Structure 1
């Protein structure tokens, strides 16, 4: 998987003082976002800041890469996916979580200084400190967790069974309650081909409102 390289050009204190927790840094195809408690959605565009509990949906040709604002953790949401982004600010850090309703997601999670990065589905809960992984979630059948780097702990929510998954392994957690780990195959990786999209160097300019109501311009360069 290619890694997105991000550079903040100005001081990030303006970002940390805002209510935003992440930003969409790459969007392709049809992608929508809706805020917590809202029945309406809007088209998600690159450069749009995201708040705690924003819900993102992609259609059959949709793709979005988002970046958390504190440590540049990147989450890539592939086509036909639906998830909720969580971010709870604790001073300059953000306690992060994803609630995947269904679909395919790849993440490059930076080492977390506070709480673990929590990833939940209808079938499983994964606790992540810092790793690169890919997830395929179907609420009817279960989940696969493929570890590219690092390790995670996965719990099957049906039975409560837990296991560690290491680099080069794939865990299958099912609605029947089983939880099995095996060596990752090429077929496992091919499911996430779109997550390796090579991004050209780009710049995003956008405004964020700080706690005093002042608008601050933010410039982000990324690949």
Structure 2
């Protein structure tokens, strides 16, 4: 008999506990059960950017390297752009044109064959070749920061022999054009999502004839 009483007591307490949870949930703040802690993150993100507390340059740099190839390679002892390099730079130019507020820097590299002084000069020539090509594609030279040569000091593959992967340039996001009005106004959303807005479908050019002969729709040239 005592055993049954203890069991009943435990069940009753459990029921009260469950009822308490239901009661609390029912009269709690609306949406409290489905809020996983992420509501409002977009607003907070924009506020951080406006105050300069968000690494938006870092974010754009990651986006650039994820969406296009940032590296082009060169033949041995050469600063000439081959067909593959030009294709990559065409993709870079298209991406860069989407963000007229953003500045870039091109870093030149070489393999370990030859003297350090010669390789530093060759790395500079390669960086110059890339900058000149991007300028020819319509990118303002003022947005391409001072080209830099690392020469042979940062090899991807450590070898004294000829290594194509070391003979490269790397294009990176480095900052914003300070005088640009969008940057000055802190309109970060316009910088990041402009192409999304421009991708919206244009107004239909189809002409509809309503009852009575009135023409509607379409657009004026």
TM-score, L = length of structure 2? 0.24
The structure with the largest strand share of the pair is 1
The structure with the largest helix share of the pair is 2
Structure showing greater radius of gyration is 2
Q: Which has the higher contact order (CA 8 A, sep 6+)?
A: 2
